[in-house]
C-alpha cells in the first residue's frame, strides 16, 4: 500500500533553453532544430521525461559510485535494464517495483503564457556554424539554426512521490534534493557546453 505526496515544481530559464523535437531532416532556410511544443496550444513546454532523465543521469554519474546499478535510484526513478538483469540473476525471478517519483510535464506559468500569446516574447533563433579544423573557416553547409526558449521564461508543473512510510519519504526527498542541486549547476536540454540550458529550480510541497 502506497501513500502519495504532491509537490509544485517551478523552473526559470536563465540562458536559452533547447529541448528539441528530433527533426528528421534539415530545412533549407528554416529551423534545423525546433523546440518541443504542445500540439494544441503551439506553446513550448518541458517534458517531465527530460527533467527526470537529467536528474537521474546526474545522480548516477556525479553522486553515487555504483551509478546505474544503484538500488535506491532504480527504486525511485524506475528500473533500468542493467539493474533488472542483475536482480533477476541474483534472485532468480522476474524483478519489478513501482517507480517512486512521478514527473509531470511543465507548462508555461500564467505570466509567461500571457507574454507568449500577446507576442511580447517569442522563442529565439540562434545560428551556429561548424568550423573546418584544417582551414579554420566555416564548413560548407555548416550553418544551422537552433530554436531556443528565451531567458526569464517560467515553467510550472507537478511532481508526485509514492512512498510506503515516512522513513522512505524522507530518503526519497533527500535524493530528489540532491539531484535538483546538481541540475542547478549543470544544464537542462541540449548544447549545455555552448551555454544553453542554465535553469533555476524551486520545489515546494503542495
Give the Cβ contact number of residue 168 at 10 Å. Answer: 18
Classify residue 174: in a domain, yes or no: yes
CB 101 within 8 A of CB 48: no
pLDDT of residue 57: 95
Confidence band (pLDDT; 50, 70, 90) for 51? very high
Classify residue 88: in a domain, yes or no: yes
For residue 68, the enclosing domain spans 3-22+42-121+151-205
CB 183 within 8 A of CB 55: yes
Total domains, the chain: 1
Classify residue 34: in a domain, yes or no: no
CB 24 within 8 A of CB 34: no
pLDDT of residue 92: 61
Classify residue 146: in a domain, yes or no: no
Classify residue 35: in a domain, yes or no: no
- Mean per-residue pLDDT for 117-146? 75
C-alpha 35/C-alpha 18 separation (Å) is 6
Classify residue 160: in a domain, yes or no: yes
pLDDT of residue 168: 96
Give the global pTM. 0.85
135-152 per-position pLDDT tens digit? 655 565 557 788 999 999
CB 101 within 8 A of CB 77: yes
Confidence band (pLDDT; 50, 70, 90) for 176? very high
- Mean per-residue pLDDT for 81-85? 85
CATH number at residue 166: 3.30.70
Reference 116, options 146, 62, 155; nearest CA is 155
58-80 per-position pLDDT tens digit? 999 999 999 899 999 999 999 88
Burial class (CB in 10 A: 0-12, 13-18, 19+), 78: middle
pLDDT of residue 27: 40
Classify residue 96: in a domain, yes or no: yes
What does the block give as the cell for 120?
511580447
Confidence band (pLDDT; 50, 70, 90) for 22? low
Classify residue 101: in a domain, yes or no: yes
The DSSP line for 82-119 is HHHHHHHHHHSS------SEEEPPBEEPHHHHHHHHHT
- Mean pLDDT, the chain, as a whole number? 88
Amino acid at each position: 500500500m502506497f501513500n502519495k505526496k504532491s509537490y509544485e515544481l517551478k523552473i526559470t530559464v536563465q540562458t536559452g533553453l533547447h529541448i528539441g523535437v528530433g527533426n528528421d531532416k534539415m530545412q533549407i532556410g528554416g529551423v534545423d532544430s525546433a523546440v518541443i511544443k504542445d500540439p494544441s496550444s503551439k506553446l513550448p513546454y518541458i517534458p517531465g521525461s527530460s527533467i527526470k532523465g537529467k536528474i537521474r543521469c546526474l545522480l548516477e554519474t556525479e553522486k553515487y559510485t555504483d551509478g546505474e546499478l544503484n538500488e535506491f535510484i532504480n527504486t525511485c526513478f524506475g528500473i533500468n535494464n542493467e539493474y533488472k538483469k542483475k536482480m533477476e540473476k541474483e534472485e532468480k525471478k522476474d524483478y519489478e517495483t513501482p517507480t517512486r517519483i512521478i514527473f509531470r510535464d511543465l507548462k508555461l506559468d500564467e505570466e509567461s503564457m500571457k507574454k507568449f500569446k500577446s507576442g511580447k516574447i517569442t522563442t529565439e533563433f540562434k545560428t551556429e556554424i561548424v568550423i573546418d579544423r584544417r582551414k579554420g573557416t566555416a564548413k560548407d553547409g555548416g550553418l544551422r539554426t537552433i530554436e531556443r526558449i528565451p531567458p526569464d521564461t517560467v515553467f510550472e508543473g507537478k511532481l508526485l512521490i509514492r512512498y510506503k512510510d515516512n522513513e522512505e519519504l524522507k530518503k526519497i526527498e533527500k535524493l530528489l534534493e540532491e539531484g535538483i542541486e546538481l541540475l542547478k549547476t549543470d544544464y537542462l536540454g541540449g548544447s549545455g557546453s555552448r551555454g544553453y540550458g542554465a535553469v533555476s529550480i524551486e520545489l515546494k510541497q503542495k
